[in-house]
Amino acid sequence: MSLKIGDTAPDFSAKTTQGNIHFYDWLGDKWAILYSHPADFTPICTTELGRTAQLKEEFEKRDTKVLAISVDDIDSHQNWVKDINQTQNTKVEFPIIADTDQEISRLYAMIHDNVSTSVTVRSVYFIGPDKRIKANITYPASTGRNFTEILRVLDSLKLTAEYSVGTPADWVDGQDVIISTSIKNEEIAARFPKGHQSINSYLRYTPQPNR
């Protein structure tokens, strides 16, 4: 199964370090980051889960819940969390799924058999309140994720879901955005009262609407 942007994120029930969850119920009307790590007690994953815990307030500001997953069991997860908290000077409080039968990992195409038939790659799914996949990023096991980029993508997704704009290359929260080509020139003043700059007929900038 290959999940694409716009697809409905598969529902599931799972055992996690925070107790049993039913994904849709757990998600509610929030945004979610669902991401996989290859294995417990591995160095790169330790830094990633630690960084996620350190960014707790940033995810909360964005009304976003975080859920991690690997094919290791709950006891392994719980023991590893102690290492993460100690080595990364943080406290992991988000759930980590124990997917020992690989059911959820394969449901989300997190296991790439040409790389490994038993462990997940570093997949990241951005899931909206409508339970649809809004974006996904996949890294090989050897490359740690850039959480500045994950937050940037999340900011862009939330902004563009609400307004008829797109975000240009290297955009970060607070910078000008691009007005959608579906908006006619005569509609811009009413839709974007902060003003705009037209570079040409299709490239039109406006200050970020929710700032």
47-83 per-position pLDDT tens digit? 999 999 999 999 999 999 999 999 999 999 999 999 9
Side-chain-side CA neighbours of 189 within 13 Å: the count stands at 1
User: Which residue reads 């980590």 in tokens?
Assistant: 96
Give the distance, in angstroms, between the CA of residue 159 and the centroid of all CA atoms in the same chain: 15
Report how far residue 110's alpha carbon sits from residue 43's, in angstroms, rounded to the nearest whole number.
19
* Same domain flag for 85 and 136: yes
Residue 70 host element (H or E): strand 64-70
Report how far residue 119's alpha carbon sits from residue 105's, in angstroms, rounded to the nearest whole number.
9
Reply yes or no on whether 45 is catalytic.
yes
Q: Is residue 61 part of a domain?
A: yes
* Same domain flag for 87 and 115: yes
* Same domain flag for 95 and 187: no
Q: Is residue 172 part of a domain?
A: yes
* Same domain flag for 173 and 81: no
Percentage of the chain with pLDDT > 70?
95
Q: Is residue 92 part of a domain?
A: yes
Q: What six digits make up the tokens of 97?
A: 């799924």
Q: Is residue 85 part of a domain?
A: yes
Per the residue annotation, which of 9, 14, 45, 68 is the catalytic one?
45
Q: Which residues pair with 161 in a beta bridge?
A: none
Q: Which residues pair with 51 in a beta bridge?
A: none
Range with the poorest average pLDDT among 17-21, 42-46, 108-112: 108-112
pTM above the 0.85 mark? Answer: yes
| CB within 8 Å of 59: residues ≥ 6 apart | 33, 52, 65, 66
The dihedral through the CA atoms of 70, 72, 73, 76 has a sign that is negative
Per the CB < 8 A criterion, the answer to whether 207 and 176 are in contact is yes
- Return the higher-pLDDT residue of 77 and 119: 77
Average pLDDT value over all residues in the chain: 94
Q: Is residue 135 part of a domain?
A: yes
* Same domain flag for 24 and 105: yes
| Domain carrying residue 182 | 163-206
Q: Is residue 180 part of a domain?
A: yes
Range with the poorest average pLDDT among 69-73, 110-114, 141-145, 158-162: 110-114
* Same domain flag for 90 and 133: yes
